[in-house]
Structure 1
Amino acid sequence: MTADVTARREAFLAHVLERGEYDTPREAERVARVVLALLGAHLVGEVRARLAARLPEDFALILLNPLQSAEPLPPERFVRATAAWIEGATEQTATWDVSAVLSTVADTADDDLLKEILLQLPAGYDLLFGRPGPPDRPSLR
């Protein structure tokens, strides 16, 4: 890995580590991998490719080669799926994990890309990304 690639990866993980209050970078990486694999199953086309281009390379590859999902999961089911993939996780800890990763992802995306991401997801994901919309905003779907 080049110094720039390593720095991007470490910066991304440092944000996840801090937001998730994990004990080790390895724990933050494990959570990031699961959440990005699930997120990748929900995004398609140019939006997924544009987001991947903003992520560190190894995380971009996870996003681009996602776990399979038969249908877009509502936020609650996304959290449950995350909990199922993380050993020892509960829905409460998985909500924390998802928010730690997705809020870091939101920081890597510009506002326009984040809007496009949210348009591909069922309503309610804005909270998981740490970017709640106004209460009077119509549903995104």
Structure 2
Amino acid sequence: MHWSRLIDAVREAGQYTTAAEAERVTRIVLSALGGQLVGDERVDLARQLPEPAARVFAAAVPATRQLNAAEFVADVAARIEGATPATARWDVSSVLSVVGEAAGDALATRILAQLPPGYALLFGRAELMQAA
């Protein structure tokens, strides 16, 4: 996938009015995600992303503590001027659903296995709970 196709896909998914808005949100969400992933999943996702996206993603220093999905959305909201939890959730889902598709099912499943529960919905996937 090329950078322009990634931005077009995010623009369509998020119904953003301009490519610049979609690009800004994409960069913020990818930077936040880069802080949450480590190991092979981080490397493999960077390889699947277009070069400008991979740079933004890989430049993020891995966090010392993984954020749960709600904390992740709040972190993104803090990075976007004027964002609310609802708009940040929309932004995160718009980007991560496209990133999940670009990654492919196998890698997306590995990524979700590394992240705390709750991220699947942000990637546009159902989150199945195991019976107790």
Q: Which category of TM-score, normalised to the shorter sequence, fits these structures?
A: over 0.9
Distance 2:127 2:113 in 1: 12
Moved over 3 A (4+): none
Listed as ranges, the gaps of 5+ residues in structure 2 are none
SS in 2 for 1:62: helix
Q: Deviations over 1:33-73 (max 9, x none)?
A: 11111101111111111111111101101111115523110
- Matched letter for residue 109 of structure 1: A
- Matched letter for residue 138 of structure 1: Q
Structure 2 residue aligned with 1:92: 86
Deviation larger for 68-77 or 83-92: 68-77
Distance 1:68 1:107 in 2: 23
Distance 1:75 1:29 in 2: 22
Instruction: Determine whether 1:52 maps to 2:72.
Output: no
Distance 1:66 1:39 in 2: 8
Structure 1 residue aligned with 2:107: 113
Q: TM-score, normalised by structure 2?
A: 0.93
- Matched letter for residue 23 of structure 1: T
The Cα RMSD (Å) is 1.5
Listed as ranges, the gaps of 5+ residues in structure 1 are 1-6
How many residues align? The count is 131
